[in-house]
């Protein structure tokens, strides 16, 4: 019988194999830190958040911000995706505006990946995909599927308890890395608090009239397919909600609770003149009831456990077997368009006109990929 | 000449409708019963009828000041109650006091439920049961599905109240207009 005892040669071979595996997985892991390339529509100028809060210059949280000024006086609308990078319809809706919008009145500001470092890693123990892809005319587009939290490489360790600086509200320590608990932000605290502070500076210095923070939530969470409005934005939101109901795309309207601090829909409205709106669509790939979690789930929302839950009446969205990224993104895109169309009715001189945005039906029929441009991207080569 | 005269008449009719449409803000008081945002939607519909109501989600009995009509939009929202910092019992007490005062002041009371079947359930039903018995008129969105169990019908039983239905919130404009004009505030 031949002995399988190791030799210097097998040890060396083993070392080489381990090194190779480490190299490949590290490369794949670090590829997540490379930004998703985008193809802004004509007229957008690129800035960074540090333009409004210079302390962020050169930091990993210095997220890209794009501004398109029509040159015609009007209002200013701010669209923000990527607060929570495991909620893809939020940043995809921002990207659709970034790549399609032709602003003919007023100004449009788009910040597609708000928490830049949260885009660059996955939440542990969630088995989330690293990225997903969409077919576009003449190629494939890759987008990262990130985490709810700021990358711990840049903000670590979490405190035992997170105390919201302005209110003293106490939350679990992990919430300190949640951008949507950080507003109005703190200029000399952790990265998340600084990014939040920068966003408030932007809203004020650019005199934003209407601001969106785009999210997704688990289908079993009560605030889903929903608009959460600051009290100053409530009348406009009611108008839009009725309009959406007529269009067959109902979004339930919820007031922003006054006693829950740190959230965009509360603090943006309290610390700037913007009418603050947060919107949620239903995303099975972040839900607690989901099965296999992969890129397909993020894009199709197909999951048999959710079908069961729907039959039991446990979900807050209509669910008939899937909940596509196209549908979720189209909800955000269409809702925002209605808000912009009616902004001038509630805010004198606040009109913002944007052309080139695909309709809900167009996005459902052709998929959102049909409205994105091809880009050079070699981050996830071989995949 | 004949054509001209009828054109004059219709212009007159349009003008008088427009003038009547500019009703006094103080004719209509609007409140929520249950603190859902549905009352805000009714405010928007009223705006399309050129009515600017005195709107206060937490209107108190003593805040009624000579209006002719009280519109109470029923629908419970735990978020809304939380935002207002009150519990459901306090909300029922406030609403009942307001409705009783309106009745005592000989105001007309219109109760509206615009949230469809999604605005039913234990919390909303509590507010529905508290407010509907005060109604002089009742408008319900998607009545067939919303009143599937007959709760509304039971609450107005024995009274000569017609339940008006609309397909959606926007669609309440028509019944709203007819109720308010029959009460002389449009
Ligand atoms: Zn979120």
List of domains in chain B: 25-182 (3.40.50.2000)
- Assess if residue A230 is contained within a domain: yes
Report the 10 Å Cβ neighbour count for A12: 10
Decide: B33 and B127 in contact? Cβ < 8 Å.
yes
Q: What part of B 91-120 touches A (C-beta under 8 Å)?
A: 118
Measured between beta carbons, the chain B residues lying within 8 angstroms of A223 are 79
Q: What mean pLDDT is reported for chain A?
A: 95
How high does pLDDT run on average in chain B? Answer: 89
The CATH number covering residue A13 comes to: 3.40.630
Q: If contacts are CB pairs under 8 Å, which of residues 212-231 in chain A contact chain B?
A: 223, 229
Backbone angles phi, psi at A95, to 5 degrees: -65, -40
CA distances from B71 to A65, A191, B59, B107, B139 (A): 45, 49, 11, 10, 10
What residues in A contact B82, CB-CB < 8 Å?
257, 259
In angstroms, the CA A372 to CA A359 distance is: 14
Sign for the pseudo-dihedral over CA of A196, A202, A208, A213: negative
Q: CA-CA distance, A337 to A354, in Å (whole number)?
A: 8
pLDDT tens digits, residue range A201-225? 999 999 999 999 999 999 999 889 9
Contact B83 A238 (CB under 8 A): no
Secondary element (H or E) of residue B71 = strand B69-74
> Is there a contact between B37 and A257 if contact means CB atoms under 8 Å apart?
no
Q: Does the pLDDT at position B21 exceed 50?
A: no
A2 within a domain of the structure (yes/no): no
Q: Is residue A150 part of a domain?
A: yes
Structure confidence by residue, pLDDT tens digits, B132-147? 999 999 999 999 999 9
**Bond prior to A293 in cis (omega within 30° of 0):** no
- Chain position carrying tokens 């994105």: A372
Give the model's pLDDT for residue B8. Answer: 54
- Is residue A3 one of the residues assigned to a domain? no
Q: Which domain holds residue A331?
A: 8-380
How many domains is chain A partitioned into structurally?
Answer: 1
Taking CB atoms and an 8 Å cutoff, what residues of chain B touch A252? Answer: 118
ipTM associated with this complex: 0.79
Please tell me if residue A238 touches chain B, with a CB cutoff of 8 Å.
yes
Separation between Cα atoms, residue A323 and residue A317, nearest integer Å: 9
- For residue A109, list its beta bridge partners: A67, A78
Pairing, β B108-113 against β B69-74: parallel
Q: How confident is the model at residue A30 (pLDDT cuts 50, 70, 90)?
A: confident
CB atoms A245 and B169 under 8 Å = yes
* A352 DSSP 8-state letter: -
Q: Tell me, in angstroms, the distance from the centre of ligand 1 to residue B32's CA.
A: 29
Cα separation, A250 vs A221, whole angstroms? 16
Terminal Cα distance for chain B, rounded: 33
pLDDT tens per residue, range A126-152: 999 999 999 999 899 999 999 999 999
Distance CA B69, CA B51 (A): 12
| Interface contact A234-B85, CB threshold 8 A | no
Q: How many CB atoms lie within 10 A of CB A349?
A: 10
Tokens of A236: 């406009």
Q: Are A227 and A241 in contact (CB under 8 A)?
A: yes
* A245 and B CB contact within 8 Å: yes
Within a domain: A307: yes
- Rounded to 10°, the helix B173-182/B38-48 angle is 70
pLDDT digits (tens, 9 = 90+) for B64-120: 999 999 999 999 998 889 888 899 999 999 999 999 999 999 999 999 999 998 899
**pLDDT digits over A232-248, tens only?**
999 999 999 999 999 99
Q: Using the mean position of ligand 1's atoms as its centre, give its distance from the Cα of residue A50 in Å.
A: 23
Shortest CA gap A261–chain B (Å):
12
pLDDT band at residue A256 using 50, 70 and 90 as cut-offs: confident
Tokens of residue A74, six digits: 């009007």
Quick check: is A341 in a domain? yes
Q: Which of A328, A349, A329, A350 is nearest to A339 (CA)?
A: A350
Nearest CA in chain B to A250: B168
A160-199 pLDDT tens trace = 999 999 999 999 999 999 999 999 999 999 999 999 999 9
User: Are the beta carbons of B75 and A252 closer than 8 angstroms?
Assistant: no
Of B35, B40, B118, the CB nearest to A234: B40
Asked if residue A1 belongs to a domain, the reply is: no
Structure tokens at A167: 């209110």
CA of A217 to the centre of ligand 1 (A): 6
Mean pLDDT of all residues in A18-35 = 90
Residues of B in contact with A254 (CB under 8 A): 37, 77, 79-80
Positive or negative, the Cα torsion across B79, B83, B85, B89? Answer: negative
Give the per-residue pLDDT at B20: 45
Query: Rounded to the nearest 5°, which phi and psi values hold at A338?
Result: -65, -40
Q: Which of B35, B40, B80 sits opposite A238 (nearest CB)?
A: B40
Cα angle at B87 between B86 and B93, to 5 degrees? Answer: 90
CB atoms A238 and B80 under 8 Å: no
Task: Please compute the mean of the pLDDT values over residues A60-72 and round it to a whole number.
Answer: 98
Mutate to test the interface with A, among B34, B36, B37 (most CBs of A within 10 A): B37
Asked if A249 is an interface residue toward chain B (Cβ–Cβ < 8 A), one would say no
Q: What is the pLDDT of residues A299-339, one digit of tens each?
A: 999 999 999 999 998 998 999 999 999 999 999 999 999 99
Identify whether A242 is part of a domain.
yes
Containing H/E element for A110? Answer: strand A107-111
Cβ <8 Å between A256 and B118: no
Query: Residues whose CB is under 5 A from ligand 1 (ion)?
Result: A 84, 87, 215
């Amino acid at each position: 019988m031949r002995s399988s005892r190791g030799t210097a040669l097998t040890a060396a071979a083993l070392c080489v194999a381990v090194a190779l595996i480490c190299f490949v997985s590290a490369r794949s892991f670090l590829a997540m830190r490379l930004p998703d390339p985008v193809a802004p529509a004509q007229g957008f100028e690129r800035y960074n958040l540090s333009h409004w809060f210079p302390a962020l210059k050169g930091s990993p949280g210095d997220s890209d911000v794009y501004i398109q000024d029509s040159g015609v006086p009007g209002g200013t609308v701010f669209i923000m995706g990527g607060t929570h990078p495991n909620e893809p319809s939020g940043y995809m809706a921002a990207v659709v505006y970034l790549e399609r919008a032709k602003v003919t009145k007023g100004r449009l500001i788009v910040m597609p990946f708000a928490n830049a470092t949260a885009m660059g890693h996955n939440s542990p123990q969630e088995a989330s995909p690293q990225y997903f892809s969409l077919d576009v005319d003449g190629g494939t587009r890759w987008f990262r599927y990130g985490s709810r939290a700021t990358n711990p490489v840049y903000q670590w360790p979490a405190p035992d308890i997170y105390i919201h600086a302005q209110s003293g509200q106490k939350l679990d320590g992990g919430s300190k890395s949640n951008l949507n608990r950080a507003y109005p932000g703190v200029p000399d605290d952790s990265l998340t608090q600084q990014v939040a502070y920068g966003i408030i500076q932007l809203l004020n210095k650019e005199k934003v009239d209407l601001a969106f923070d785009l999210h997704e939530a688990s289908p079993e969470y009560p605030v889903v397919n929903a608009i959460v409005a600051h009290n100053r934005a409530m009348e406009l939101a009611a108008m839009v909600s009725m309009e959406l109901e007529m269009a067959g795309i109902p979004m339930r309207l919820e007031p922003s609770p006054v006693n829950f601090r740190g959230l965009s829909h509360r603090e943006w409205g309290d610390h700037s003149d913007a009418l603050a709106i947060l919107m949620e669509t239903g995303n099975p790939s972040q839900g607690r009831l989901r099965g296999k979690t992969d890129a397909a789930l993020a894009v199709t929302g197909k999951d048999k456990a959710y079908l069961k839950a729907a039959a039991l009446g446990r979900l807050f969205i209509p669910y008939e077997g899937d909940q596509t990224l196209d549908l979720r993104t189209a909800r955000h895109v269409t809702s925002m368009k209605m808000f912009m169309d009616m902004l001038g009715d509630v805010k004198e001189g606040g009109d913002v006109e944007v052309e080139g945005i695909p309709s809900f039906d167009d996005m459902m029929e052709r998929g959102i990929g049909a409205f994105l441009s091809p880009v050079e991207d070699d981050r996830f080569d071989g995949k | 000449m004949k054509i001209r005269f009828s054109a004059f008449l219709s212009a007159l009719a349009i003008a008088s409708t427009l003038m009547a449409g500019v009703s006094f803000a103080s004719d209509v008081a609007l409140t929520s019963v249950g603190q859902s945002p549905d009352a805000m939607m009714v405010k928007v519909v009223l705006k399309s009828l050129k009515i600017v109501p005195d709107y206060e989600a937490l209107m108190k009995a003593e805040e009624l000041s000579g209006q002719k009509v009280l519109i109470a939009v029923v629908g419970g929202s735990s978020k809304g109650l939380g935002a207002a910092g009150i519990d459901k019992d306090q909300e029922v007490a406030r609403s009942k006091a307001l409705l009783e005062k309106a009745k005592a002041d000989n105001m007309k009371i219109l109760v509206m439920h615009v949230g469809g079947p999604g605005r039913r359930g234990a919390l909303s039903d509590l507010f529905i049961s508290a407010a509907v018995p005060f109604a002089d008129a009742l408008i319900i969105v998607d009545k067939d599905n919303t009143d599937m169990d007959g709760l509304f019908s039971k609450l107005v039983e024995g009274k000569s109240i017609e339940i008006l239905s609309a397909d959606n919130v926007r669609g309440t404009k028509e019944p709203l207009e007819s109720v308010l004009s029959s009460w002389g505030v449009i």
